[in-house]
Amino acid sequence: MSAIDHDYIYLQPPCCADEDVGRLWCEDPDPTDCDDGKHWTKYVRSDIYEAMRRRVAELNSICGRFSNIAYNIHQLDRPVSQSDKQALKDLQVEYDELQRANQIEGGKSNGEASNG
């Protein structure tokens, strides 16, 4: 991957493919629909996709732990303990860090911070 590689590319719908050349690829921005009204298929660069998968997994982990704490407080009908408060505070810190990282990554994929 290089800095000039596009984040997304598009593959022409098969209905309009040239018999000899085949389906065409096109770079960003999103091409208009073909004459048959079909969308071009959008592909995302694999490093962007993998980073997104990691962020979703981290977010799922945070949500799961938050849900466990909330469930225990609600279903067990017990008062919020000091350890619950600390666990929620830790989750908030983790969530804030993830959000900050997402903003930085978002800036990179928009070309704001790419340098090679």
Token pair, residue 51, equals 């980073």
Q: Which of these ranges, 13-21, 45-53, 64-72, 84-92, lies near Zn ion under the rule CB under 5 A?
A: 13-21
The answer to whether the beta carbons of residues 26 and 12 sit under 8 Å apart is yes
* All residues at 6 or more sequence positions from 19 whose CB lies less than 8 Å from its CB, including other chains: none
| Cβ(107)–Cβ(113) below 8 Å | yes
The residue whose Cβ lies closest to Zn ion is 34
Contact with Zn ion (CB under 5 A): which of 5, 6, 15, 90?
Answer: 15
In the window 22-61, what residues touch Zn ion (CB under 5 A)?
34, 36, 38
Specify the residue, 26 or 69, whose C-beta has the smaller distance to Zn ion: 26
How many Cα atoms are found within 13 Å in the side-chain-facing hemisphere of 11?
A: 7
In whole angstroms, how close is the CB of 32 to Zn ion at the nearest point? Answer: 11
Q: Which residues bind Zn ion (CB under 5 A)?
A: 13, 15-16, 34, 36, 38
